[in-house]
Structure 1
Amino acid sequence: MTILDIIENKKNRKELSQEEINFFVQNYTSGIIPDYQISSLLMAIVLNGMTLKEATFLTQSMMHTGKIIDLSEIKGIKVDKHSTGGVGDKVSLVLGPIVASIGAVFAKMSGRGLGHTGGTIDKLESIPGFGCYVNEMQFKKLLKKSNIAIIGQTDDLVPADKKLYALRDVTGTVNSMPLIASSIMSKKLATGSDAILLDVKCGSGAFMKNEKDATELAKWMISIGKKLKKDVRAEITNMDQPLGRMIGNKNEILEAMESLKGNGEPRFMELIYSSSSEILMQAKIVKNKKEAIKLIDDAIKSQKAYKKFIEMINNQGGDSKIICQPQWWNPKYKLIIKANKEGYLRLTNSVVLGTVAMKLGAGRQTKEDIIDNEAGIELVKVSNEYVKKNDPIMILYSSKEIDLSLSKEVWKSIEISKNLKNDPIILNNLK
């Protein structure tokens, strides 16, 4: 068997065997097969597709190029949630403590943000002392102690995917459903969870721009999960608008805390209740959504969920006292954006706001960029709220002087009209 044989087979639309997929994944990861040959194979896959069997073999093969975490010694069903990336997406910071306080084991590995999407790890690392990188033994210890740990992905997790994705990114071979699905699933399945809830976002601020493509991706990932005997479910959610009222790092931590106290923005909390209910059903703690909602209500009203968040911060070395102080988030500069007329506000393009937040310093254009944890955006008003002329509708924050041209940029995402428009956040649920 040679890599040329495998390229020829895929070029001729033949289904690759498990042995062929293992051969190219292992030999490319170890540096034996050069980039130009794998580029050719990837292009053949993009043009001719893959079967579910091939995508499952690819997922397994990539998983086994690195460390696979074994959580079997921890009692109960281990649950995880994955988002395909969004603006203002602090869902895991609220959902995790809720389900953990109710009894589910929430074992999550998260990544950093790049471009207009924010990363959960970046947000948590804005908390002084918070440790995102722990070894497997410490990860298990945290889960046994508190039912929750949110940690960073380590370099020894699915190295094949890192190398293949970097090549896909520069060869025009990113846009392939089986390649995207196997990339996501290889990382999720390597972290040891029994059940995974996928939040597949679509719209202006998402990788998938429409519901049809998001649904297709979700179906690929669910099917791979079933083949590998994992309970994988998906929610298709709307990312035309940011989630909640805050975009940034420190300010999203604060919004997560307020949400756990019962003061969350209604549209954001609709997603929290839906996703938390699904995870509690996957964890077999409840039989239906009605039971789940009752437990979620209690976890928030009793402060159990908020206390679980503080417990997680303390467990991972974070200073939970300082984040409760008013001066913790204290940006030096701010720029208020005011309404230019009266009417109902509608935010139409979350990628614009995510990009502005990145330019303010809240995100990275390259992996080497240093984040300004004070930077971000506060949405004083969200979609369907009524504004009068000169009412503040959003505030831009930064540690550095703010480029006034950003005020013009945010208007590309703002409409004010006489009519309300319903934009549902949850578009579909798939199992």
Structure 2
Amino acid sequence: MASFDVVDLIRTKRDGGVLSDDEIRWLIRAYTDGGVGDEQMAAMAMAIFFRGLDGRELPTWTTAMINTGERMDFSSLSRPTADKHSTGGVGDKITLPLAPLVAACGVAVPQLSGRGLGHTGGTLDKLEAIPGWRASLSNADMLAQLEDVGAVICAAGTGLAPADKKLYALRDVTGTVESIAMISASIMSKKIAEGTGSLVLDVKTGSGAFMKTRENSDALARTMVALGKAAGVNTVALVTAMDAPLGRSAGNACEVAEAVEVLAGGGPADVVDLTLALAREMLACAGVDADPAEALASGRAMDVWKRMIAAQGGDPDSPLPVAQHTEVVRAASDGFITSMDAMAVGLAAWRLGAGRARKEDPVQAAAGVTWTAGVGDRVSAGQELFRLSTDDADRVPRALEALADAVTIGAERVDPGPVVLGAC
């Protein structure tokens, strides 16, 4: 491979120029191998933050990241594969009921998930609230579980797109995270390398989402769908609401409990609606004609959940952890909830110990926030609105600060609106 002067490449992008395919491939490989320093890649990331990557540069950048590692292969499985990726939100426990539901309909779901950082929760952190459950599986174990059970939720191996792991950590500390091009390349490099045949993206929009505006969320969705299709992955995206948190809980064990409630035929309407909407998209992408609502109602999805948890060492029937301290926030007046700020709820859960500020921080399994009513519901003065749970009572005051203005109560009922806002 030809060699280039990284400073020349930085200047080209800084001044609005376009990098060649060879320059991009060299840069990604040299950075991954240590030939380009963090300070130089930080300068490039900032240049891309302001200048972007065009329609040719971005696919090349993404493929170069994929090619720094391995690609998984699910072609030996007896059924088609489909995966889902969410850009992250508050109370977003959808992966938990969705994976076994889609598997119960005949599609294998290789769900490689991550951990929480900041106000958004991590699927692996939630599942680790289940006694004995393990996140790390070998590729062979993953394939065996997909063939036998139909669904797996586990950590991505270090061999998938190692360039992304290194670049993501750099962007996190250099103020260059909020770049549609680099977000898209980060997500899609891992998902394409994963080897799934179909991919459904859940792109959140609103106060509790990474993308706050519909315009940016739509742009991110279109960009990722284009990258997926260009790589031969049948890719679609739903843009979904995240001004208010999903469901009635944000945390770890409390979100697992809510997911099990959905699998048992209950659960909050918004969680059920989004789970079914994503399941229908995954089945359609995989070419399987099945009714996920029937699989949920019949209990088949619950059966797969229990087998999936047990296959990874967990006890699906074991009691979930209970926090040592709880605090209740009550409604100040009668009326209807007209808004609930997802970011405020997520911040409170994080401050209680459900999330982490740095990747190496531990999380509390029992920490989190639950609420009894959502947007559009009537409440009475003195009624419990939020219940805060934590093993560390000293965390409660700052969590209460986050929730101080989280809920607005008005005289007129407000329609909570749809969860799914658009598709591409």
Q: Does 1:332 align with 2:314?
A: no
Separation in structure 1 between the aligned mates of residue 356 and residue 139 of structure 2, nearest angstrom:
28
Q: Does 1:421 align with 2:414?
A: yes
Separation in structure 1 between the aligned mates of residue 377 and residue 175 of structure 2, nearest angstrom:
41
Q: Does 1:175 align with 2:169?
A: no
Q: Does 1:342 align with 2:338?
A: no
Q: TM-score, normalised by structure 1?
A: 0.94
Separation in structure 2 between the aligned mates of residue 158 and residue 34 of structure 1, nearest angstrom:
18
Code of the aligned partner of 1:377:
V
Secondary structure at 1:322 match in 2: coil
**Structure 1 position 297, deviation (Å):** 2.2
- Pairing of 1:369-380 with structure 2 (within 5 A): 369-380=361-372
Counterpart for residue 354 of structure 2: 362
Q: Does 1:269 align with 2:265?
A: no
Separation in structure 1 between the aligned mates of residue 420 and residue 300 of structure 2, nearest angstrom:
26
- Relative to structure 1, the CA distance from residue 45 to residue 322 in structure 2 (aligned partners, 3 Å threshold; closer, same or farther) is same
Q: Does 1:166 align with 2:162?
A: no
Find the partner of 2:382 among 387, 390, 403.
Answer: 390
Secondary structure at 1:134 match in 2: coil
Q: Is the 8 A contact 2:349 2:399 kept in 1?
A: no
Secondary structure at 1:171 match in 2: coil
Secondary structure at 2:264 match in 1: helix
Q: Unpaired segments of 5 or more residues in structure 1? A: 287-291
Code of the aligned partner of 1:24:
L
Counterpart for residue 403 of structure 1: 396
Provide, for residues 239-275 of structure 1, a one-character-per-residue CA deviation record: whole Å limited to 9, x for no partner.
Answer: 1111111111111111100101111101221111111
Q: Unpaired segments of 5 or more residues in structure 2? A: none
Separation in structure 1 between the aligned mates of residue 384 and residue 213 of structure 2, nearest angstrom:
31
- Pairing of 1:128-277 with structure 2 (within 5 A): 128-277=131-280
Code of the aligned partner of 1:331:
A
Separation in structure 1 between the aligned mates of residue 388 and residue 340 of structure 2, nearest angstrom:
18
Percent identity of the aligned residues? 37
Secondary structure at 1:209 match in 2: coil
Separation in structure 2 between the aligned mates of residue 171 and residue 407 of structure 1, nearest angstrom:
30
Provide, for residues 119-153 of structure 1, a one-character-per-residue CA deviation record: whole Å limited to 9, x for no partner.
Answer: 00001111111121011111100101011001112
Q: TM-score, normalised by structure 2?
A: 0.95
Calculate the aligned-residue CA RMSD, in Å: 1.5
- Relative to structure 1, the CA distance from residue 54 to residue 405 in structure 2 (aligned partners, 3 Å threshold; closer, same or farther) is closer
- Pairing of 1:50-129 with structure 2 (within 5 A): 50-129=53-132
Number of matched pairs = 419
- Relative to structure 1, the CA distance from residue 368 to residue 36 in structure 2 (aligned partners, 3 Å threshold; closer, same or farther) is closer
Separation in structure 1 between the aligned mates of residue 57 and residue 330 of structure 2, nearest angstrom:
53
Separation in structure 2 between the aligned mates of residue 251 and residue 39 of structure 1, nearest angstrom:
38
Q: Is the 8 A contact 2:192 2:231 kept in 1?
A: no
Separation in structure 1 between the aligned mates of residue 321 and residue 42 of structure 2, nearest angstrom:
46
Moved more, 245-254 or 69-78: 69-78
Secondary structure at 1:403 match in 2: helix
Separation in structure 1 between the aligned mates of residue 8 and residue 381 of structure 2, nearest angstrom:
67
Provide, for residues 270-325 of structure 1, a one-character-per-residue CA deviation record: whole Å limited to 9, x for no partner.
Answer: 11111111111011112xxxxx5xx22221221101111001001111012214xx
Q: Is the 8 A contact 2:348 2:398 kept in 1?
A: no
Q: Does 1:4 align with 2:7?
A: yes
Separation in structure 2 between the aligned mates of residue 83 and residue 75 of structure 1, nearest angstrom:
26
Separation in structure 2 between the aligned mates of residue 73 and residue 25 of structure 1, nearest angstrom:
31
Moved more, 113-122 or 328-337: 328-337
Secondary structure at 2:173 match in 1: helix
Separation in structure 2 between the aligned mates of residue 363 and residue 398 of structure 1, nearest angstrom:
12
Moved more, 19-28 or 71-80: 71-80
Find the partner of 2:317 among 312, 321, 337.
Answer: 321
Code of the aligned partner of 2:293:
D
Moved more, 407-416 or 1-10: 1-10
**Structure 1 position 405, deviation (Å):** 5.0
**Structure 1 position 384, deviation (Å):** 1.0
Q: Is the 8 A contact 1:52 1:220 kept in 2?
A: no
Separation in structure 1 between the aligned mates of residue 34 and residue 81 of structure 2, nearest angstrom:
35
Separation in structure 2 between the aligned mates of residue 348 and residue 321 of structure 1, nearest angstrom:
33
Q: Is the 8 A contact 1:344 1:420 kept in 2?
A: yes
**Structure 1 position 359, deviation (Å):** 1.1
Q: Is the 8 A contact 1:52 1:223 kept in 2?
A: no
Secondary structure at 1:70 match in 2: coil
Separation in structure 2 between the aligned mates of residue 35 and residue 388 of structure 1, nearest angstrom:
55
**Structure 1 position 95, deviation (Å):** 0.9
Q: Is the 8 A contact 2:345 2:406 kept in 1?
A: yes
Separation in structure 1 between the aligned mates of residue 175 and residue 87 of structure 2, nearest angstrom:
19
Secondary structure at 1:412 match in 2: coil
Q: Does 1:24 align with 2:27?
A: yes
Q: Does 1:412 align with 2:405?
A: yes
Q: Is the 8 A contact 2:90 2:346 kept in 1?
A: yes
Q: Does 1:305 align with 2:305?
A: no
Counterpart for residue 289 of structure 1: none
**Structure 1 position 408, deviation (Å):** 4.2
Code of the aligned partner of 1:379:
W
Q: Is the 8 A contact 1:52 1:224 kept in 2?
A: no
